[in-house]
Each structure stands twice: as C-alpha cells, then as structure tokens.
Structure 1
Amino acid sequence: MKSIILKWYPVILAFLCLLYSVGYGILGMTAEAQYSAHWPGTILLFAIAIRQRRTT
C-alpha cells in the first residue's frame, strides 16, 4: 500500500485539488474556482519534471 501511495501521490493530490475547485464552483465562488482549477495541472507537470530529473 505504501509503494502505491508513494508512486501515485501526485495524482491523488491533483484529484483532491480538482474536487476543491469543483466545490468552489458549486458554491458559486467562480473566481476562486478558476484560480484553483490550475493547481491539478501544475502539480502533475511538476511531478513529471521531478521524476525525469531523478537519476535513480
């Protein structure tokens, strides 16, 4: 279980951020929803960049 979480933590975190953004949208806070909608993509892009830079 630990290895799965360590491998997939960026996807899990991005999904939680997506739910956070959707929650803001449902509550009618559109500016906040648009701001936080960029977080999942940024998290996933940084995870890809970090994993490509690893030498191990």
Structure 2
Amino acid sequence: MKKFIYKWYPIILAFICLLYSVGLGLLGMEKEAEYSAHWPGTILLFAIAIRQRRTT
C-alpha cells in the first residue's frame, strides 16, 4: 500500500483538488472554483518535474 501511495500521490491529490473545484462551482462560488481549477494541473506538472530531476 505504501508503494502505491508513493507512486500515485500526485494523481490522488490532483483528483481531490479537482473535486474541490467542482464542489465550489456547484455551490455557486465561481471565482473560487476558477482559481482552484488550476491546482490539479500545477500539481501534476510539478510531480513530473520533480521525478525527472531524481537520479535514483
């Protein structure tokens, strides 16, 4: 289980952020939803960059 979480944590975190943004949009908070909609892409891009920089 620990290996699974270590490998997939960026995708899990991005999915949670996506659900948060959708929830805000459904509650009528469009500005907040628009702001938080950028979080999943940023998380995934940073995860790619960090993994490319690793030497092990």
TM-score over 0.5 for the pair: yes
TM-score where L is the length of structure 1 = 0.99
> TM (normalized to structure 2)?
0.99
How many pairs does the alignment contain? 56
Write the distance in 2 (CA, Å) between the matches of 1:22 and 1:33.
Answer: 7
Deviations 1:18-55 (A, max 9, x none): 00000000000000000000000000000000000000
Aligned twin of 2:46: 46
Instruction: Specify every segment of 5 or more residues in structure 1 that has no aligned partner in the other structure, as ranges.
Output: none
RMSD between superposed Cα atoms in Å: 0.2
Identity %: 82
Gaps of 5+ in 2: none
Secondary structure of 1:8's aligned partner: helix
Structure 1's consecutive aligned runs of 4 or more residues displaced over 2 angstroms after TM superposition are none
